[in-house]
Structure 1
Amino acid sequence: MAALVQGRDLVQQVLVTVAAEQGLTPQQAKVLCIVDHAPVSMRQLSGLLRIRKSSVTGLVDRAHSAGLIVRTPDPCDGRSWLVDFTPEGRAAVRRFKRAVTERLEHMISRFAPQECADLDALLSKLVLDNES
């Protein structure tokens, strides 16, 4: 189990480093990756980030001020807002994901193809089996 924790720490360091290189905070990078799938409500974002709604508001305000995201009224709930990308935010998340992928691929570049496939399968199973 120690290797799993160390692996998580390695990946976290890649995420933090790439975010900093691209002028993003780690939290902004995480928000961008979450919003990349579809516009999300502030409540959903709070749950996905596992932080208080008041903290999400500040995080979204800063990402909005940086020109990365927009807030639009939720058509299903007039009291709620959806968070979505600006064109700059969409470009930022693409750059971020591309850079992270390149770093991670470099980290496993000496693995045999079957080792890469096994690692991917095991991590995918771990994630799927523990999604809440």
Structure 2
Amino acid sequence: MTEPGPDEVLDNLVQVSFTVMALLSRAAAAHDLSLTQLRALAILRDRTPKMAELAEHLGLDRSSVTGLIDRAVKRGLVRREASADDGRSVRVGLTEEAHRLARKLEAEIAGLLAPLTRDLTPAERNRLGALLGRMLP
């Protein structure tokens, strides 16, 4: 088997990214969530950041995140709380209902993504995981 060239690596990476995004969008839509809302729930799954930190994680401006969180609060998925270290800041976290939804989504997404790596050996899956991890900032 020949090694793929740089153009093929880039093309395959983009195509896999599009496939993953489509599958994530499908999972989100099944629960009446946007892809951005799904990302926010994933970020909030194990932390309670300040709104500004959440905006940075999402790559959005604060006003967009405020609207996003307002809608999530109305759905009972997110709670706001005063920041203990800065009285002017607000931290956001998931409600118990959202934690249940996040666990359900995690299982659904794992099922949707599993076919992408089904034909890889365990060693190849481990190597892919390690390589993808190195690509993250």
Gap runs ≥5 in structure 1:
none
Matches within 5 A, 1:15-26: 15-26=24-35
- Aligned counterparts of 1:26 and 1:68: Cα–Cα separation in 2: 15
Question: Residue 75 of structure 1 aligns with which residue?
Answer: 84
TM-score of the two chains, using structure 2 as the length reference: 0.89
Kindly state the Cα deviation for residue 106 of structure 1 after the two structures are TM-superposed: 2.3
SS in 1 for 2:118: coil
TM-score of the two chains, using structure 1 as the length reference: 0.93
Gap runs ≥5 in structure 2:
1-9
Q: Which structure has the bigger radius of gyration?
A: 2
Q: Deviations over 1:52-75 (max 9, x none)?
A: 100000000001111101000001
- Aligned counterparts of 1:106 and 1:66: Cα–Cα separation in 2: 32
Kindly state the Cα deviation for residue 37 of structure 1 after the two structures are TM-superposed: 2.0
Task: Report how many aligned residue pairs link the two structures.
Answer: 128
Aligned equivalent of 1:116, options 101, 115, 125: 125
Question: Residue 61 of structure 1 aligns with which residue?
Answer: 70
In the alignment, structure 1 residue 95 sits paired with structure 2 residue 104 = yes
In the alignment, structure 1 residue 11 sits paired with structure 2 residue 20 = yes
Question: Residue 49 of structure 2 aligns with which residue?
Answer: 40
Give aligned-pair identity as a percent: 32
Structure with a larger share of its residues in strand:
1
Which aligned segments of 4 or more residues in structure 1 are displaced greater than 6 angstroms? none
- Aligned counterparts of 1:4 and 1:65: Cα–Cα separation in 2: 37
- Aligned counterparts of 1:115 and 1:105: Cα–Cα separation in 2: 14
